[in-house]
Amino acid sequence: MTVARKINALHFGILLFLLICFFTLPAYHVGALSRIMVLAIYAIGLNILFGYTGLLSLGHAMFFAAGMYGLGLSIKFLGVSVVLAFGIGILSAAVLSALVGLLALRTAGVSFMIVTLMFAQTVYLVVLYFGEFTRGDEGFVLQQAERMLAGFDVTTEAGRYFVAFGAFSICLIGFSALVQSSFGKRLVAIRENEERARMLGYDVWRYKLLAVIISGTVSGAAGALYALLFGYVGATFASVQYSILPLLWVLLGGAGTTIGPLIGVAFMFYLIDASSAYTSAYMLIAGLALVVLTMFAPRGIAGILRTKVSPWLP
Amino acid sequence: MEFGPHLMLASLEGAVIASILVLTAMGLSIVFGVMRVVNVAHGEFFMLGAVLAWYVSTALGGHPAIGFAVALIVAPLAVGLVAAVSDQLILKRINYDPDRTIVGTIGMLFIIQQTTLMTFGPEARPVEAPFNQRLALPWFEFSEGGLQMIWPWGLSITSYKLFVIFAALTVLVALWLFLTRTKIGLIMRATQQDSETAKAFGVPVGTVYSCVFGLGAALAALGAVLVVPIQQAHYLMGADPLLMAFTVVIIGGLGSLPGTVIAAFLIGMSDGIISVFFSPTLAQIIATFLVAMILVFRPQGLMGKAET
Amino acid sequence: MTIKTSNHAVSRRKALLGLGAGASALATTGLMPGTMGFAQAQSSSPIKIGFQKHATGIGAAYGRWYDATTTAAVQRINDSGGINGRPVEIVTEDDGTDPSRGAEALEKFEKQHSCDVAFGTLFSHVVIGSAPRAAELKLPYFVVSEGHHVASGMLNRYTLQPGITDVKSQVVSMAPFIAGNLGKKVTMIFPDFAFGHDHRDFFTQAIEAQGGEVVAKIAIPPTETSFTRYFPSIPRETEVIYHVMVGPAVLTFVKEMGEFFGPSRPEIFGFIDSLEAVGIDSPGLEFLEGTYFWEGMPRHVQGNQSDVEKTYRAAVGCDDRGASIDDPADVSTYAHMFGCWETLNVIKAGMEAADYQGPQDRTKLIEAVEAMTDMPESLDHPQGAKLFNGKTHQVFGQQFISKVVDGKLAVEHVTTIEEGLYEDEVDYTTQPF
């Protein structure tokens, strides 16, 4: 098999596996997987920027929140259809990421981290400041009746799973195509050696801006999806914690790999889920696991696979 | 309150915030400058300092000054030791790789937080200040009878808060002398500037790193001991100082200690003063946004050298 | 969905496996046709109540005491024969004081533990984030949050608050006392998020109805850790300060307020939320002497202590100052945690009224609770008599106003239930299940 075929087979296999999961796993895990897939889209969003372009953002919660509030507020106050609201959510994230990109890309490295962190903090405070509309930290509920996606009820287990699955499939396949395209290869070239990429005549700044916008928009789509599928919009999702989490997922799963985000989210979810069944001190276990993992799996879980099993992993 | 006295009060408060911030940020700045790693657990070292201060002062009892004085020595030492050990156990073995350090220190953050929750508990616990007199402050006003001294309603500070400002300045001077006048300080600075060359000259870089990591954590703990009579020890109190200190270090310019001091002063003061003019949340929005914009237009930070 | 039913069958079988009824009994019931065998098997199996606990995160101090109260209440219920002759079992899941974790906890209750009902938690964002899942899972969700979210109509038919009065009612009932005894010009200091905004909006209306006015509203960002610089915005004409800060920084807040005013302070009225789990005699709080607090239930034993209060206090393990009997430094969240005790008793009463047998009777349980009205003061309701509004799913009770005298919270005034009533904003009973 050629590398491209292997990659496609791998992604197809993962999607098939997720599909089989729905029909075989107990109801609890079906629900958990819906959540994991949505959050994996968020992690994919961050991975485009961090894993492939080498720009570490500590403020991705603002894009997630932009999608979430774009969808939530337009349903709540404009009464638009879910499809349109979803579009508004994605558009909000796209516009915000373009603005942030234009400003923040004047910086690099640690300064980029801080600038994105501060912008995200500003967005978080703005959500609180307009509490009259957003209900601040408390947030608001999208009623079941308001969550019909073009006649399709997303509040049932099956509805939720298949919407999450569909969106995740689009993202995984699109993401895989992106990183294998010449565009994706140029992003990696920028990550590896920005100076050299510039010498080769690439408009580095333009590529980085596009990466920020794509990354922010995908994260925003995850936010909108989260609000739609789980019926809740709140400021918690704009807080620093939700900027750190996707970074953790990506690093755990394997930065700069296509399957890393999903692995990272699932690993973290089930690590906490499983350990909390045995002890109330599951954070301790999670902490120890992170320390051990970073010591023995330097490039994340997919990184081990790449070095030990299949060097062709995208 | 009148505008003048209000501004004065806000400036004094800003100075107190800046004083605590400068100690926390200096710790992070040294670590960041020398080791080039983002220590996400730095805020937890701060928290540990505050929690230890509570344990020490509760265990000793007697006059609050006794417990406070002992905590001032014990807490930074203990926290510094914990940090140095974790450096040897974890960070050293992952070669201070930037990405892995983030994951590793997030792991440390979880471990420290959960351990504190299980031992110290979820409550916010106060530590009594060694002394705490309210000092009413005067204000001068021009009126028909010339310059007049008045005592505006509410314009005051406490003796302890003045002490915090003074203590932070003392520590800064001591740190400055330590880094510039002692051999260990010299070695640290040499390692910061070029660890490869330092190694070639026989500097035990590994040990230096552990010392630096311990010193950084100790400074955070020291800041926490100073702050805990004003705020309270709580197991989640580390997040805010981490973000603030991190910001200060970058705004100041990576690896520039004077830059860190200036940035801490600037951010602390602006935090206080902007609140005079806007409603509290709006003031924070503006302050946060301005900090971001400083970096947008001066990416290398205030005192950093532009990368070429 | 066919899938879903088969999953239910699996979880039901698991529930049966967990009976400890012995392998042979299980085989017999498994072979018995119809529902008879199922009902019989279940009659001795425990009623499972999923408890969302703030074990970690910002709400952990509340979580610990909510847990202690819940355990005590369940022990009392079990000692007196359980519910419908079946023992009650609490299944605890940490919600991390996080809305998304809260929703996951509900999923676990329903799908992993086969709980009969879920029972919850304090922080509003966790309740609001969880409630949609409760409705989708068709899992009755009893909350002890004091938020106005239930009665405002934001949530759904599966979410009820029968154990604690909501913030709107609390605030409204405070206004007559403040205007009549403390002063009419009020400055409000509150956290700049939804909980604070509820206080701001409801109190402003209520005090105006009493002929008073709010002269300044100072909203503090929730991330704030120092407060002195905000106090100059308090107008000089202020007669009463109304404060309701939450979170670990509140001690700083109270302390700095004392330092700001020095010897010349206005009257001060606060919500004890600020100082739950904190000793009123902590260093730095001397300034609170002579100020007033709302209390959901008096933390310190009063002269006229009732027998039920005495029994309840002993059951939850609190001394005369509302601290743990084992450790006087471990102060409880006494003004709120009674809500857990009372909610569990409402669940029991509801299940008995509905002759609850299993998850198929959940809607009957909700209807039974909706039908409740008067709840007289008793050991089931030690905080005092209550009035439940089945349409809004919200309970109303008396409120206490205490004054700090010699480091003790002494009750000055008790409001009536009527003072806290307001017009219905929703009728959940018209919503389909």
C10 within a domain of the structure (yes/no)? no
Q: What is the largest CA-CA distance in chain A?
A: 58
| In chain B, residues 109-148 whose CB comes closer than 8 Å to chain A | 109-115, 117-118
Asked whether residue C56 falls in the same domain as residue C181, the answer is: no
Asked whether residue C127 falls in the same domain as residue C172, the answer is: no
Tokens of C316: 């939850």
Closest-CA residue to C163 (of C329, C319, C335, C396):
C396
C175 within a domain of the structure (yes/no)? yes
Chain C residues with CB under 8 Å of A280 CB are: 55, 94
Q: Do A251 and B103 touch (CB under 8 A)?
A: yes
Averaged pLDDT for residues A154-162:
88
**Predicted complex ipTM:** 0.84
Q: Do A136 and C11 touch (CB under 8 A)?
A: no
Closest-CA residue to B24 (of C220, A112, C225, C229):
C225
Report the gap between the CA of C198 and the closest CA in chain A (Å): 10
Report the gap between the CA of A183 and the closest CA in chain B (Å): 24
Q: Do B292 and A115 touch (CB under 8 A)?
A: yes
Question: What does residue C371 show for φ and ψ, rounded to 5 degrees?
Answer: -80, -10
Closest-CA residue to A52 (of A39, A64, A62, A43):
A43
Residue B91, chain A, CB below 8 Å: the answer is no
Q: Do C56 and A137 touch (CB under 8 A)?
A: no
Q: Do A295 and B93 touch (CB under 8 A)?
A: yes
Nearest to B103 among A115, A288, A294 (CB): A294
| In chain A, residues 194-253 whose CB comes closer than 8 Å to chain B | 240, 244, 247-248, 251-252
Chain C residues with a Cβ under 8 Å from any Cβ in chain B: 56-58, 60-61, 63-64, 192, 218-221, 223-226, 228-234, 236, 248-252, 255, 259-262, 264, 277-278, 282-284, 330-331
Q: Which residues contact A101 (CB under 8 A, 6 or more apart)?
A: A208, A209, A212, A213, A216
A273 within a domain of the structure (yes/no)? no
- Which pLDDT belongs to residue C28? 39
pLDDT, tens digit, 9 for 90 and up, residues B210-247 = 988 999 999 999 999 998 888 888 888 888 888 888 88
A294 within a domain of the structure (yes/no)? no
Rounded-to-integer distance, Cα C19 and Cα C89, Å: 12
pLDDT at C32 over 50: no
Between strands C159-160 and C141-142, the pairing is: parallel
Tokens of C250: 């509140």
Closest-CA residue to B136 (of B156, B150, B160):
B156
Asked whether residue C407 falls in the same domain as residue C392, the answer is: no
Tokens of C37: 């065998």
Q: Do A126 and B285 touch (CB under 8 A)?
A: yes
**Residue A133's domain spans which residues?**
15-237
Give residue C165's region: left, alpha or beta (phi > 0; psi -120 to 50): beta
Q: DSSP assignment of B126-172, as one string?
A: ----S---EEE--EEEEETTEEEEE--TT-EEEHHHHHHHHHHHHHH
How many CB atoms sit inside 10 A of residue C1's CB?
11
Averaged pLDDT for residues B90-97:
86
pLDDT at C356 over 80: yes
- Which pLDDT belongs to residue A7? 84
C239 within a domain of the structure (yes/no)? yes
How many CB atoms sit inside 10 A of residue C372's CB?
19
Nearest to A139 among C10, C99, C222 (CB): C99
Q: Which residues contact C365 (CB under 8 A, 6 or more apart)?
A: C117, C140, C347, C350, C351, C354, C356
Asked whether residue C277 falls in the same domain as residue C414, the answer is: yes
Rounded-to-integer distance, Cα C346 and Cα C161, Å: 10
C327 within a domain of the structure (yes/no)? no
Q: Do C224 and B126 touch (CB under 8 A)?
A: no
pLDDT, tens digit, 9 for 90 and up, residues B113-135 = 999 998 988 888 888 888 878 78
Q: Do C128 and A140 touch (CB under 8 A)?
A: yes
Question: pLDDT class for B286, splitting at 50, 70, 90?
Answer: confident
Asked whether residue C91 falls in the same domain as residue C175, the answer is: no
Nearest to A291 among B104, B285, B296 (CB): B104
Averaged pLDDT for residues C279-301:
88
Q: How many beta-carbon pairs below 8 A join chains A and C? A: 115
Averaged pLDDT for residues C349-376:
93
Q: What's the mean pLDDT when you consider all of chain C?
A: 85
Question: What does residue B202 show for φ and ψ, rounded to 5 degrees?
Answer: 85, 15
Residue A128, chain B, CB below 8 Å: the answer is yes
Angle at B281 between CA C205 and CA C220, to 5 degrees: 60
Report the gap between the CA of A107 and the closest CA in chain B (Å): 5
Chain B residues with CB under 8 Å of C192 CB are: 280-281
Report the gap between the CA of C68 and the closest CA in chain B (Å): 14
Give residue C277's region: left, alpha or beta (phi > 0; psi -120 to 50): left
- Note whether A102 and B234 are within 8 A (CB): no
Q: Do C60 and B6 touch (CB under 8 A)?
A: no
Give chain A as a 3 state SS string.
Answer: CCHHHHHHHHHHHHHHHHHHHHHHCCHHHHHHHHHHHHHHHHHHHHHHHHHHCCCCCCCCHHHHHHHHHHHHHHHHHHCCCHHHHHHHHHHHHHHHHHHHHHHHCCCCHHHHHHHHHHHHHHHHHHHHHCHHHHCCCCCEECCHHHCEECCEECCCHHHHHHHHHHHHHHHHHHHHHHHHCHHHHHHHHHHHCHHHHHHCCCCHHHHHHHHHHHHHHHHHHHHHHHHHHHCEECHHHHCCHHHHHHHHHHHHHCCCCCCHHHHHHHHHHHHHHHHHHHCCCHHHHHHHHHHHHHHHCCCHHHHHHHHHCCCCCC
- Which pLDDT belongs to residue A254? 87
A279 within a domain of the structure (yes/no)? no
pLDDT at C168 over 50: yes
pLDDT at C216 over 70: yes
CA-CA-CA-CA torsion sign (A85, A90, A91, A96): positive
Q: What is the CATH number of domain B3-297?
A: 1.10.3470
pLDDT, tens digit, 9 for 90 and up, residues A193-215 = 888 888 888 888 888 999 999 99
- Note whether B44 and B82 are within 8 A (CB): no
Tokens of C315: 């059951």
Rounded-to-integer distance, Cα C271 and Cα C252, Å: 15
C24 within a domain of the structure (yes/no)? no
Asked whether residue C140 falls in the same domain as residue C213, the answer is: no
Rounded-to-integer distance, Cα B26 and Cα A205, Å: 33
**Residue C259's domain spans which residues?**
167-295+398-420
DSSP label of C18: T
Q: Do A27 and C7 touch (CB under 8 A)?
A: yes
Between strands C240-243 and C185-191, the pairing is: parallel
- Note whether C110 and C306 are within 8 A (CB): no
A116 within a domain of the structure (yes/no)? yes
Q: DSSP assignment of C293-345, as one string?
A: EEESS-SSPPTT--HHHHHHHHHTTB-TTSBBSS-TTSB--HHHHHHHHHHHH
DSSP label of C7: H
Torsion of CA C426, C427, C430, C433, to 10 degrees: 80
Rounded-to-integer distance, Cα B290 and Cα A77, Å: 31
Q: Do C8 and A27 touch (CB under 8 A)?
A: yes
- Which pLDDT belongs to residue C43? 61
Question: pLDDT class for B306, splitting at 50, 70, 90?
Answer: low
Rounded-to-integer distance, Cα C42 and Cα C39, Å: 5
pLDDT, tens digit, 9 for 90 and up, residues A23-70 = 898 888 998 999 999 999 999 999 999 888 888 898 999 999 999 999
Q: Do A236 and C1 touch (CB under 8 A)?
A: no
- Note whether B226 and B68 are within 8 A (CB): no
| In chain C, residues 3-62 whose CB comes closer than 8 Å to chain A | 3-4, 7-8, 10-11, 55-56
Chain C residues with CB under 8 Å of A118 CB are: none
A128 within a domain of the structure (yes/no)? yes
Q: What is the largest CA-CA distance in chain B?
A: 74
Question: pLDDT class for B1, splitting at 50, 70, 90?
Answer: low
Rounded-to-integer distance, Cα C194 and Cα C198, Å: 6
Residue B300, chain C, CB below 8 Å: the answer is no
Question: What does residue B150 show for φ and ψ, rounded to 5 degrees?
Answer: -125, 165
Asked whether residue C146 falls in the same domain as residue C227, the answer is: no
Report the gap between the CA of B222 and the closest CA in chain A (Å): 25
Q: Do B104 and A298 touch (CB under 8 A)?
A: no
State which residue of chain B sits closest to A239, comparing Cα positions: B239
- Note whether C254 and C287 are within 8 A (CB): yes
pLDDT at C55 over 60: yes
Asked whether residue C61 falls in the same domain as residue C138, the answer is: yes
Rounded-to-integer distance, Cα A54 and Cα B80, Å: 33
How many CB atoms sit inside 10 A of residue C432's CB?
5
Q: Do A235 and C193 touch (CB under 8 A)?
A: yes
Residue with tokens 């967990």: C18
Q: What's the CATH number where C200 sits?
A: 3.40.50.2300
C87 within a domain of the structure (yes/no)? yes
Between strands B134-136 and B156-158, the pairing is: antiparallel
Tokens of C420: 């806290």
State which residue of chain C sits closest to B1, comparing Cα positions: C232
Nearest to B234 among C223, C248, C255 (CB): C248
- Which pLDDT belongs to residue C224? 80
Q: Do C98 and A236 touch (CB under 8 A)?
A: yes
Neighbours of chain C (3+ CB pairs under 8 A): A, B
pLDDT at A155 over 60: yes
DSSP label of C80: T
pLDDT, tens digit, 9 for 90 and up, residues B288-303 = 888 888 888 888 878 7
Report the gap between the CA of C153 and the closest CA in chain B (Å): 28
CA-CA-CA-CA torsion sign (B122, B213, B248, A207): negative
Asked whether residue C351 falls in the same domain as residue C242, the answer is: no
Three-state DSSP state, B304: coil
Total tally of structural domains belonging to chain C:
2
Residue with tokens 């009372």: C342
- Which pLDDT belongs to residue A46? 94
Q: What's the mean pLDDT when you consider all of chain A?
A: 88
pLDDT, tens digit, 9 for 90 and up, residues C179-204 = 999 999 999 999 888 888 889 999 99
Give residue B111's region: left, alpha or beta (phi > 0; psi -120 to 50): alpha
Asked whether residue C99 falls in the same domain as residue C232, the answer is: no
Averaged pLDDT for residues A130-135:
88
* Least confident among A296-300, B55-59, B165-169: A296-300
pLDDT, tens digit, 9 for 90 and up, residues C123-140 = 889 999 999 999 989 999
Averaged pLDDT for residues C149-172:
93
A286 within a domain of the structure (yes/no)? no
- pLDDT above 90 covers a percentage of chain B that reads 22
Residue B38, chain A, CB below 8 Å: the answer is yes
**Higher per-residue pLDDT: B208 or C44:** B208
Q: Do C260 and B1 touch (CB under 8 A)?
A: no
Site from B230, B277, B284, B286 to mutate, C interface, most C CB atoms within 10 angstroms: B230
Q: Do A247 and B102 touch (CB under 8 A)?
A: yes
Asked whether residue C244 falls in the same domain as residue C358, the answer is: no
Closest-CA residue to C202 (of C239, C180, C173, C165):
C173
- Which pLDDT belongs to residue C13? 36
pLDDT, tens digit, 9 for 90 and up, residues B58-78 = 888 778 888 899 999 999 999
- Note whether B219 and B76 are within 8 A (CB): yes
Rounded-to-integer distance, Cα A273 and Cα A32, Å: 10
Q: Which amino acid is residue C146, in one-letter code?
A: E
- pLDDT above 70 covers a percentage of chain C that reads 90
Asked whether residue C161 falls in the same domain as residue C171, the answer is: no
Between strands C267-271 and C292-295, the pairing is: parallel
